[in-house]
Amino acid sequence: MILLFSMLTLFSIHSQKVTVRHAWLRPANKGMNSALYFEVRNNSEKPETLFNVTSNIAGMIQLHESYMEKGMMKMRMVPFIVIKPHSTFVFKEGSYHIMLILLKKDLKPGSKEIFFLHFKNENNLKVIAIVGKN
């Protein structure tokens, strides 16, 4: 019993190193592209690196950055995102976001979708995002 309690306590502490809030998706139809936005908080003493996001709703999922170049908004894939200790990194419109390419189904406002965030030091984190601004 003590061992089980200790294991649950360690899991709780470990799982709180990284937290996610306000996860939402842009509505889109099957075959189109969309984007996932959220806030990720690193509560630990060390930097944390997000290197992948997975879900079964799109043919491809990439970490992206939007940027201005010669007066035009552009996007590019980035290999990872580093979240500094005790800080929040915001994925938002016109900035960093998770690009969902070739959707396998419609994303209708109000529906919910599951994603897994893959971190270097933290276990995978399950995120439920709502379609439409959160």
Q: pLDDT value at position 58? A: 98
User: Are 29 and 103 contacting, i.e. CB atoms less than 8 angstroms apart?
Assistant: yes
pLDDT 10s digits, 115-130: 999 999 877 999 999 9
- Average predicted confidence (pLDDT) for the chain: 89
Distances (CA, A) of 81 to 42, 48, 105: 12, 8, 27
pLDDT 10s digits, 86-114: 999 999 999 999 999 999 999 999 999 99
Q: pLDDT value at position 68? A: 92
What's the CATH code, domain 18-131?
2.60.40.1890
Q: pLDDT value at position 123? A: 79
Report how far residue 110's alpha carbon sits from residue 100's, in angstroms, rounded to the nearest whole number. 18
Q: What is the mean pLDDT of residues 17-35?
A: 97
Q: What is the mean pLDDT of residues 54-65?
A: 98
